[in-house]
Structure 1
Amino acid sequence: MGARGPARGPGVQVLSTRALNRAVLERQLLLRRVDLPVVAAVERLFGLNAQDPNLPYLALWSRLERFALRDLTAAVEDRSVVRSTLMRATQHMVTVPDFRLVRPALSPLLRRARRNAFGTRTTGVDLDALAAEAGELLAGGRVLTRPEVGRLLAARRPGSDAGALGWSVQYLRPVVHPAPSGTWNVRGATPFADAAWTGVRAEATLADLRLLVRRYLAAFGPASVADARVWSGIGGLREVFDGLRPELRVYADESGRELFDLPGAPLPDPGTPAPVRFLPDFDALLLAYSDRTRVMTGEIRGRVCVGAGVAATVLLDGTVAATWTRTRTEDTVTLTVQPMRPLPLADHTSIEAEATRLLAFTDPGVADRRVRLLPGP
């Protein structure tokens, strides 16, 4: 979406791409590791992608001074944070207050996503009745896996598609995936627990949407309406931004797009140094914008964001310079860095040092830990 009105008009400050980069690095805790408790960090970041259970752990390791696997695991176990289908209809980990805020706002998106994925496989199914029956199955704190829920619902509907019914539930009603699901290295069938205990409502109010926009800007601003829509998957945000306009700062980027931000939100000096950082697959930094040039070029984006996938990346001077993969055998673990652009020789040491620290975190019990920095393009 382009700018609305004279984004470069009198009094409108133009922010360079580098200034926007340093702003989001500051807000996403990537200019320096910080000393924050896990739950406070998840709230500050406004959620972590959790499509694989290890992703939130890797994201926090890159951002927090003192972080151990048990810190996030404990927060999942005591239900300070929850994992559920949220932004862009994908798995995220958020604090309970943020789940209450975000899930109702995403309800229309999730119903559309369900229809697109499973509509033809659930033709003729009364969706309201399906959601209500799923709630009955999960009542009293009962936990069932997605396949179990699907089979129980299909038993009441002879000839129906159990898999499609099970998947539909997570889009039709608020559910969370309790521990040990979502904790380090724990995979397998996804468990469902009803989310009524969180106090989540069925529908978002205008006040909820206004708060959601403010929270998004605090974590990712300055940003455009289109950026917020891409990050969340929520339509109709133009009206929310326009209603908030008197309370927001308005900027323009170098192409003239109108950007919004919170008054007083940090805008670091564009010359602020940015350290090497290893980000996991699907890190929010790479998914929070329609225009992602503040973190990677269009050519690199085409190689990092392929289909529905978003590769694990290495930031050098704040922007994507490489991808990385980790492979392990019984007695050896190797982290391989694939440059996406020429890397100055002077930066090889810092990249290799950060990769070595990452392997010490992910594989402390493996004595043979190797880093491979492949030749650049």
Structure 2
Amino acid sequence: MATAAAPVLTRRDLNRALLARQLLLERADLTALDAIEHLVGMQSQAPAPPYLGLWTRLNGFELEHLSALMRDRGAVRIVLMRSTIHLVSARDCLLIRPVLAESLARSLKSTFGRQLDGLDLDAVVAAGRGHLDAQPLTLGGLGKLLAEQWPDRDPFAMANAVRNLAALVQPPPRGVWGESGQAVHATAEAWLGQPLSAETEADALVLRYLAAFGPAGVKDAQMWSGMTRLAASFNRLRPGLAVFRDENGVELFDLPDAPRPDRETPGPVRFLPEFDNILLSHADRSRILTDEQRRLVFTRNGLIKSVILVDGFVRGLWSIEQSKDAAVLAVEPFAPLTRAERKALTEEGTRLLAFAAAKAGNREVRIA
């Protein structure tokens, strides 16, 4: 008996599904903690983006909702997917970090392999844990202490070995809106008072990825996570998944009951912050931006700029310029906008300024 061909999903089908999973078709009535867990964390090289990313996705979100969550140790900043800083719930920190251990070790070797060659990394990590359990330290401070024991080795490389091979979180005030402070590190176990999970299998993480970013293929999940050889997980999960193909014939998987809205569902304008994971979590990013736009959004030094979504797709950049008593939200479209699109962006931008620059006496949205 012939097997039925997998249904084909167009670029616009995939876009609307992604917007629904990312809480961008309409704002959700979720707590900050629930949203962070649904999104499987938020990339957080800079402190502000998670706040802006939650504001654009949630009804009634306020700055203190996330700040309090971080101060109360309900959420933490830690190196996870793609060996980058992510804001995750405390529960996900303990669950996800062990699953990514192999990919983080591989990333360390790729970056610092030469400097660490021949070094007993188990001994370095054990020494680093001892220093960090005594007090939170910057990577520079940790490297200096490690250099007392290994004076002929690179302090920064050793500190990064501890960061990638142990689970290190960045305690507040780093990451709290309006507060400043160096990025210091503590072990997740000491900071959260709980051990890491013993589970290292990727299957559960793949399912959560599909819930937040699907439908998606094996290469998409690998791009998002930084892991390799995820085909084995998809093959184990295949009997319980819906299977599709994109317009290029690439096999895609999804949770059977996950939302896949009609392709004509309206996509409201949205302001996405720097490093938003929606731009970083697929091998084929055409469901959200073109290759030409990618070159304008992704900088050579690794920054991912803030973007506007119009009808669900990237259509330009934005930034907030603040002076002593004024704040200007500057929008740079990639192509001409209609009058209705400009109006919608102005209205949404005005709300964004009221959130992000509440103390500014004069607030203005300027669309080039």
Contact 1:47 1:92 in 2 (8 A): yes
Partner of 1:346: 340
Code of the aligned partner of 1:326: I
Partner of 1:200: 196
Give the drift of 1:372: 1.6
Code of the aligned partner of 1:225: V
Separation in 2, partners of 1:100, 1:154: 29
Which aligned pairs between 1:175-324 and structure 2 lie closer than 5 A?
A: 175-196=168-189, 197-201=193-197, 204-206=199-201, 209-307=202-300, 308-324=302-318
Contact 2:170 2:186 in 1 (8 A): yes
Partner of 1:64: 58
Give the drift of 1:333: 1.6
Moved over 4 A (4+): none
Larger mean CA deviation between 242-251 and 131-140 belongs to 131-140
Separation in 2, partners of 1:343, 1:120: 51
Which aligned pairs between 1:121-132 and structure 2 lie closer than 5 A?
A: 121-132=115-126
Give the drift of 1:359: 1.1
Larger mean CA deviation between 185-194 and 346-355 belongs to 185-194
Separation in 2, partners of 1:158, 1:229: 38
Give the drift of 1:204: 4.4
Q: 1:22 aligns with which of 12, 16, 22?
A: 16
Partner of 2:167: 174
Code of the aligned partner of 1:43: E
Contact 2:308 2:318 in 1 (8 A): yes
Larger mean CA deviation between 145-154 and 309-318 belongs to 145-154
Give the drift of 1:188: 4.0
Larger mean CA deviation between 190-199 and 12-21 belongs to 190-199
Separation in 1, partners of 2:133, 2:291: 48
Give the drift of 1:16: 1.4
Give the drift of 1:162: 2.2
Code of the aligned partner of 1:351: L
Contact 1:53 1:186 in 2 (8 A): no
Code of the aligned partner of 2:232: E
Percent identity between the two aligned chains: 43
TM-score w.r.t. length of structure 1: 0.92
Q: Residue 366 in 1 paired to residue 363 in 2?
A: no
Separation in 2, partners of 1:324, 1:168: 36
Give the drift of 1:187: 4.4
Give the drift of 1:90: 0.4
Separation in 2, partners of 1:210, 1:122: 32
Partner of 1:149: 142
Separation in 2, partners of 1:222, 1:233: 18
Give the drift of 1:20: 0.9
Contact 2:269 2:309 in 1 (8 A): yes
Q: Residue 164 in 1 paired to residue 145 in 2?
A: no
Contact 2:173 2:181 in 1 (8 A): no
Go from structure 1 to structure 2 and tell me whether the alpha carbon gap of 1:116 and 1:185 turns closer, same or farther (over 3 Å shift). Answer: farther
Separation in 2, partners of 1:106, 1:185: 31
Q: Residue 91 in 1 paired to residue 85 in 2?
A: yes
TM-score w.r.t. length of structure 2: 0.95
Separation in 2, partners of 1:21, 1:247: 23
For this pair of structures, how many residues does the alignment match?
363
Q: Residue 110 in 1 paired to residue 104 in 2?
A: yes
In structure 2, stretches of 5+ residues that fail to align are: none
Larger mean CA deviation between 146-155 and 85-94 belongs to 146-155
Partner of 1:3: none
Give the drift of 1:145: 2.2
Code of the aligned partner of 1:268: P
Give the drift of 1:270: 1.3
- 1:279-306: CA deviation from partner (whole Å, max 9, x where unpaired): 0011011111011111112211222123
Kindly report the root-mean-square deviation, in angstroms, between the aligned alpha carbons of the 2 structures.
1.6
Separation in 1, partners of 2:174, 2:297: 27
